[in-house]
Copies of this chain bind each other. A is one copy, B any other.
Amino acid sequence: MIDAARLDATFHALSDPTRRAILARLAAEGDITVMDLAEPFEMSQPAISKHLKVLEEAGLVSRGRDAQRRPVHLEAQPLAEATGWLIEYRQYWAAQFGRLDDLLGELQRLEAASGKT
């Protein structure tokens, strides 16, 4: 997937609260089956399967196999790429966002100090 299309898919996947909640649960609880994922949502199982397909096509999750179950696994690489895109704008948050800005300003200095580009 070319870079732009990958970012398209990643940001689109993140634009839905159900999908963000799925990622949050995977981060907190590790691999989860579809039924277990669907349980807290007021939504049918096929709806969850569709959301998982969106996440999978964006590379944000992968699927395993455990008998009838297809445990869902978080794949965070696209999140790193999306973060990388956003980090480019850190200088524009200036001032208004004290803590995050402080920390990312520090990050920027470290980046310079490390001599890497």
List residues of A whose CB falls within 8 A of some B CB: 4, 7-9, 11-12, 14-17, 20, 23, 27, 74, 76-77, 79-80, 82-90, 92-93, 96-97, 99-104, 106-107, 110-111, 114, 116
Please tell me how many copies of the chain the complex holds.
2
Complex Cα–Cα for A107 and B101 (A): 11
A83, A97, A114: residue with the most chain B Cβ atoms closer than 10 Å: A83
The 7 lowest CB-CB distance pairs between A and B, nearest first, are A76-B92, A11-B15, A12-B15, A80-B93, A11-B14, A83-B86, A4-B17
Interface of A is mostly: helix
Task: Add 17 more A-B contacts to A79-B89, A80-B90, A103-B107 (CB < 8 A).
Answer: A7-B14, A7-B17, A8-B17, A11-B15, A15-B15, A23-B89, A74-B92, A77-B93, A77-B96, A77-B97, A80-B96, A83-B89, A83-B90, A83-B104, A84-B100, A87-B100, A106-B106
